[in-house]
Amino acid sequence: MMQMTINGVVQEFEVDDQTLLVEVLRDHFHLTGTHIGCDTSQCGCCTVLMNNEAVKSCTMLAAQATGSQIVTIEGLASDGLHPVQEAFSQEHGLQCGYCTPGMIMSTVHLLNRHPNPSDDQIKEGLAGNICRCTGYVNIIAAVKSAAKKIQEKTV
């Protein structure tokens, strides 16, 4: 029996030892906002937060996450959209949307570490995420906007 807290809810489940975390999230708990893109951890579509760290759920076994706190894109917003979600929408930091959940989760992780990131920190923080549509200009603008939104909420 495995146990982890997913989006604030303690979940117990049984799966095969070779089951990936992304499969548990999508197939067992129907949290389909976590996307499967490349299955090699190159694209970042499957990024979730595990114990406040950004991880690629497509190459992590569910057993490795036992006892952990997992936050998916569905668990990010509590009362309305999270500031990062708002910023991606307002700054047009998405186009087809496939990479967006992973980009947002990586951005949350980045802003937790660097509340006012430089361009280089943003590029480094999102380096594990691939977007084939936007060209990254609006994504970087969204990260900067989100940083401002979060700072305004904490003042």
Please write the tens of the pLDDT for every residue from 103-132: 999 999 999 999 999 999 999 999 999 998
Domain final position from 76, 110, 137: 76
pTM of structure: 0.95
The CATH number for 133's domain is 1.10.150.120
pLDDT of residue 133: 87
Domain final position from 76, 93, 108: 76
User: pLDDT (tens digit, 9 = 90+) per residue, 57-90?
Assistant: 999 999 999 999 999 999 998 889 999 999 999 9
Which tokens hold the place of 143?
A: 């990260």
Domain encompassing residue 36: 2-76
Residues 38 and 20 in one domain: yes
Residues 89 and 145 in one domain: yes
Question: In the predicted model, is pLDDT for residue 101 greater than 80?
Answer: yes
Considering only residues 154 and 131, tell me which one the structure prediction assigns the higher pLDDT. 131
